[in-house]
Amino acid sequence: MVPWGVCMAMAITVAMCLVVTKIFMRRMSRYHDHHQKSTDGSIPPGSLGFPLIGETLDFMAANCSNKGLYDFVHSRRLRYGSCFKTSIFRRTHIFVSSIKSAKGILMSNDEVNFSKRYIRSIAELVGKESLLCASPQEHHRLLRARLSALFTTDAVSLFVERFDHLVLTTLFRWEHTGTVVVLHDALSMTFKAMCKMLMSLEDPEEIEKLQKDVTQVYEAMVAIPLKLPHTRFYKGVKARRRIMETIRKMINQRRKGLEEHEDFMQALLLGEESSSDNASPLTDTQIQDNILTMIIAGQETTASAMTWMVKYLDENQDVQETLRVEQLQLASKVSSGSLLTLEDLNGIPFASKVVRESLRMASVVPWFPRVALKDCEVEGFKIKKGWIVNIDVKSIHLDPTVYHDPNKFCPSRWKVLDPDPSLEKWALFARLRSGCRVSVTRIAPK
């Protein structure tokens, strides 16, 4: 038999646990209720979850579920409305899905209210000198100008030919393959293209090794930022260090004059010598961080968009047929076996519309994060300095007040608003050669 004293001690322990648990749950209930409904209605509705961790666990669970990360945002938007608050990784986040608010936040020229800000795990993995994380604003604008200046017509033309060669090689292999996983091959194709364009890296073994590291970095971006052995974030940080070392060696080889290529890295290094402004040259860290950023952005988003486009075309045979007719017309004008040129792409406007509609439907980047630089208002709610305001892009893309029948794949909804209709061929780019923007028009039902 168990001694009476031991039984009493066990009973007291259980009772204390019950009391502590009850107090904890009561505090949690009050905390939840307090943040579920604002007492004065001045801040967005929503829940900040548990103390310290907020709703981070729900955020991570959504990322690991079959529904995907966006389900975390979607379910709360249905519950609280177009503007709501939450807490992720110990930061207060606001999500807004109004197109008016989105324009006010994203198109502000003075950038006095908002600045780019990504969650800690992303910022640490891509680097503080990345275009995604650079601050203050003057530094960000300078860095952006230096990078965008590299995308000349000649550079884009060269990239088009190289990427077309990769596509042809992949399609030839598909002809002799029973089952094809489009996303897998798209990732491989876009990664090789980015390595070639950015660093002239073509060695299969080096590319395979680098791709494994980049994949670990990408997978760690929404992981809990704990640097503990065997955790996803820890593996991502170690993979980043290996990538930085690889890029550093390439930079050193070129600085010593041992290697020289026509690529993005070489243009950045030459830009230091030919820069006509008084700006300081880019540091090795800036070059490294931004090359990694462009590899990740160029590979993952492009591959995802390509995969979704294949899906949409398979589900919409009429669109696929229209696209096929346009492609056959182009094929009849070019010599057999020749690679596509930039002029060829500009001559297939319907293909451009298919790409844009695929990006709208898929929303491969579901939201854009910005940090409030001072207290302000969004949709009538008070936003405090330091809060992260996220533009819910996916919700806007599927908003019936913005797009008629938004769940329908309809490339024809995209129109180029320009006084000269012959310029529609330049719809491949954000601006036409005439300087006019590419816009979307809302097509009424037939």
Per-residue pLDDT reduced to its tens digit, 378-397: 888 999 999 999 999 999 99
The CB density around residue 59, as the number of other CB atoms within 10 Å, is: 22
Q: Are 131 and 293 in contact (CB under 8 A)?
A: yes
pLDDT at site 112: 59
Q: Measuring CA to CA, how many Å separate 240 from each of 220, 301, 392?
A: 10, 19, 29
Is residue 277 assigned to a domain?
Answer: yes
Residue 427 burial (C-beta neighbours within 10 Å; 0-12, 13-18, 19+): buried
Q: Which domain holds residue 300?
A: 142-379
pLDDT at site 422: 40
Q: Which two tokens stand for residue 283?
A: 């540091």
Residue in the structure block whose two tokens are 């696929």: 320
Specify whether 32 is located in the same domain as 157. no
Please give the distance of CA 317 from its chain centroid, rounded to a whole number: 29
Is residue 351 assigned to a domain?
Answer: yes
Q: Which two tokens stand for residue 13?
A: 């322990």
Specify whether 5 is located in the same domain as 148. no
Sign for the pseudo-dihedral over CA of 363, 366, 369, 375: positive
Name the nearest CA neighbour of 243 among 125, 153, 70. Answer: 125
pLDDT at site 417: 54
Specify whether 372 is located in the same domain as 241. yes
Domain count, the chain: 2
Is residue 76 assigned to a domain?
Answer: no
The CB density around residue 423, as the number of other CB atoms within 10 Å, is: 15
Q: What is the pLDDT along the chain (446 residues), one digit of tens a residue?
A: 444 443 444 445 544 554 444 444 444 434 444 444 444 458 899 999 888 889 988 988 888 888 888 899 999 999 999 899 999 888 899 999 988 888 888 776 545 578 777 777 888 898 888 877 766 565 666 667 767 766 778 888 888 888 999 999 999 999 888 888 999 999 999 999 999 989 999 999 999 999 999 999 998 987 878 888 889 999 999 999 999 999 999 999 998 888 888 888 888 887 655 555 556 677 889 889 989 998 988 888 889 999 999 999 999 999 999 999 999 999 888 887 788 888 888 888 999 999 999 999 998 888 888 888 888 888 889 999 999 999 999 999 999 988 999 999 999 998 755 444 443 333 333 333 333 344 444 444 44
Domain boundary among 360, 379, 398: 379
Residue in the structure block whose two tokens are 């180029």: 416
CATH number assigned to the domain comprising residue 345: 1.10.630.10
d(CA 161, CA 153): 13
d(CA 171, CA 165): 10
The DSSP code sequence of 187-223 is HHHHHHHHHHHHH----HHHHHHHHHHHHHHHHTTTS
Is residue 204 assigned to a domain?
Answer: yes
d(CA 251, CA 245): 10
pLDDT at site 300: 85
Strand locations in 75-214 (E) = 83-88, 91-96, 114-116
- One-letter amino acid identity for 359? L
Is residue 249 assigned to a domain?
Answer: yes
Q: Which two tokens stand for residue 322?
A: 């229209």
Name the nearest CA neighbour of 68 among 308, 408, 370, 316. Answer: 308
pLDDT at site 335: 81
Name the nearest CA neighbour of 91 among 129, 120, 112. Answer: 120
Is residue 174 assigned to a domain?
Answer: yes
389: which strand partners? Answer: 94, 370
Specify whether 7 is located in the same domain as 150. no
Peptide bond into 3 cis (omega under 30): no
Residue 310 burial (C-beta neighbours within 10 Å; 0-12, 13-18, 19+): middle
Specify whether 170 is located in the same domain as 26. no
pLDDT tens-place string over residues 226-281:
888 889 999 999 999 999 999 999 999 998 888 888 888 888 887 655 555 556 67
437: which strand partners? Answer: 431
Is residue 130 assigned to a domain?
Answer: no
Is residue 229 assigned to a domain?
Answer: yes
pLDDT at site 13: 52
- pTM as predicted: 0.78
Residue 263 DSSP class: S
Q: Measuring CA to CA, how many Å separate 359 from each of 2, 257, 398, 403?
A: 69, 41, 12, 14
d(CA 223, CA 119): 10
Question: What is the end-to-end Cα distance of the chain in Å, rounded?
Answer: 84
Q: Are 156 and 277 in contact (CB under 8 A)?
A: no
Q: Which two tokens stand for residue 337?
A: 């076996």
